[in-house]
Amino acid sequence: MALLEVENLCTEFRTKDGTVTAVDDVSFTIDKGERIGVVGESGAGKSVTGLSILQLVEYPGVITDDSSIRLNGEDLLAKSEDEMASIRGNEIAWIPQDPLSSLNPTSTIGEQIVETMRIHGYGDDENDRRQRAISLLADVGIPDAANRFDDYPSEYSGGMRQRVLIAMALSCEPSLIIADEPTTALDVSTQAQIVNLLRDVTSNDTALMVITHELGLVAELCERVMVLYAGTVAEKSDVAGIFDDPKHPYTKNLLKCSPHLTMGEELNTIPGSMPVGSERPSGCQFHPRCSEAMEECSVVEPELLPDGDGGEVACLLHTDQEYNMKVDQP
């Protein structure tokens, strides 16, 4: 059994101007200790997918009734708010995108880590938690951790605060860590250090879901990739497959747009823009921007099907005749 099983996840924002489907029928699994990358342009639904797992989608977002999210076989969507709170930070931890704004400015670094353990009843007593917090800070590379335990976040640099957030995520030994663009806000040399750190700390049984718009980060960190486009899964593959033999035209575009895979560049260089909001194209969501689009692409919505190489792809170029036949009989 997989650690996390997400099935038919739909998350909608029911706004005044209509319903925005941010995540549209997304299914995937994460195994114990596995590292998976979720990639796509800004607005693709990556963060909302991660937040849906934690059930922290902000108002007016709702996870539809047909969705299913199971952790170790247990239905998370059936849990009460209190039960979910005891899972967050404890079994599923979250590493946010912007370290500068993600720590409580009026609480010390040490207290914020200890507090996480305290609310989940981790550790024997306060002293035990304190010792663990200090050793975690040392593990993530905070020099002189014992003395900097009582510092306030404002006394830490951005890179150090991201390390603190990683230490906080690790504090209760979660089985899954969801990291939302964990390096985007950092400078290039710090990015490399944080990537190495994330790889180190998840080298045991901890699974990692990395949300990013940089395929380079995925190449360095992950075993598997899921490409999202406009809330739908475009392609799933192992990392080698994505780079050596990308199937979906969108994935190919993404690759072309990140020449320095280790640096990671802005991906917004694919011509056109992704549909956002409640206006969605018919057929394949990508067809207005797809250089390989065929006539039927604007009519038929491609299904996510096995690509023959162990992955899955949602593109009419990679499926059998059925679709074409459907189109041929108007």
Ligand X SMILES: Nc1ncnc2c1ncn2[C@@H]1O[C@H](COP(=O)(O)OP(=O)(O)O)[C@@H](O)[C@H]1O
Contacts to ligand X by CB under 6 A: 13, 15, 20, 22, 40, 42-48, 58, 276-277
> 166 near 95, Cβ under 8 Å?
yes
Residue 293 touches which of ligand X, ligand SF4, another protein, none (CB < 5 to 8 A by kind)? ligand SF4
Region for 233 from its dihedrals, namely left if φ exceeds 0, alpha if ψ lies in -120 to 50, beta otherwise: beta
Q: Shortest distance, CB of residue 328 to ligand SF4, whole angstroms?
A: 16
Hunting for tokens 């002189």 — which residue is that? 144
Question: Which residue ranges make up the site for another protein (CB under 8 A)?
Answer: 54, 56, 81-82, 85-90, 93-94, 96, 98, 101-106, 115-116, 119-120, 152, 154, 165, 168-169
Q: Shortest distance, CB of residue 135 to Mg ion, whole angstroms?
A: 32
- Mapped onto helix, strand or coil, the DSSP state of residue 234 is strand
Q: Say whether residue 47 binds Mg ion (CB under 5 A).
A: yes
Q: Say whether residue 316 binds ligand SF4 (CB under 6 A).
A: yes
Q: Which of residues 195-254 bind ligand SF4 (CB under 6 A)?
A: 248-249
Q: Which residues touch 272 (CB under 8 Å, ≥6 apart)?
A: 288, 289
- Out of 37, 159, 302, 311, name the contact with ligand SF4 by CB under 6 A: 302
Cα-Cα-Cα-Cα dihedral sign, residues 63, 57, 250, 268: positive
Cα-Cα-Cα-Cα dihedral sign, residues 128, 117, 30, 40: negative
Query: Closer to ligand X at the Cβ: 33 or 281?
Result: 281
CA distance 254 to 270: 8
Residue 40 touches which of ligand SF4, Mg ion, ligand X, none (CB < 5 to 8 A by kind)? ligand X
- What DSSP element (H or E) covers 283? none
Residue in 82, 87, 136, 85 with CA at minimum distance from that of residue 109: 136
Query: Closer to another protein at the Cβ: 89 or 311?
Result: 89
Residue 15 touches which of another protein, ligand X, ligand SF4, none (CB < 5 to 8 A by kind)? ligand X
Residue 152 touches which of another protein, ligand SF4, Mg ion, none (CB < 5 to 8 A by kind)? another protein
Residue 44 touches which of ligand X, Mg ion, another protein, none (CB < 5 to 8 A by kind)? ligand X
Other beta carbons within 10 angstroms of residue 79's beta carbon come to 16
Q: Say whether residue 155 binds ligand SF4 (CB under 6 A).
A: no
Residue in 105, 118, 164, 107 with CA at minimum distance from that of residue 138: 164
Q: Say whether residue 317 binds ligand SF4 (CB under 6 A).
A: yes
Q: Shortest distance, CB of residue 108 to another protein, whole angstroms?
A: 9
Q: Shortest distance, CB of residue 294 to ligand SF4, whole angstroms?
A: 6
Query: Closer to Mg ion at the Cβ: 47 or 237?
Result: 47
Q: Which residues touch 293 (CB under 8 Å, ≥6 apart)?
A: 249, 284, 286, 287
Residue 47 touches which of another protein, Mg ion, ligand SF4, none (CB < 5 to 8 A by kind)? Mg ion
- What DSSP element (H or E) covers 144? none
Other beta carbons within 10 angstroms of residue 158's beta carbon come to 14
Query: Closer to another protein at the Cβ: 10 or 57?
Result: 57
Hunting for tokens 């009026």 — which residue is that? 106
Total of residues contacting Mg ion (CB under 5 A) = 1
Q: Shortest distance, CB of residue 64 to ligand SF4, whole angstroms?
A: 24
Residue 292 touches which of ligand SF4, Mg ion, ligand X, none (CB < 5 to 8 A by kind)? ligand SF4
- What DSSP element (H or E) covers 228? strand 224-229
- Mapped onto helix, strand or coil, the DSSP state of residue 248 is coil
DSSP state string for 72-85:
TTEEGGGS-HHHHH
- Binding residues for ligand SF4, rule: CB under 6 A, are 248-249, 284, 286-287, 290, 292-294, 297, 302, 315-317
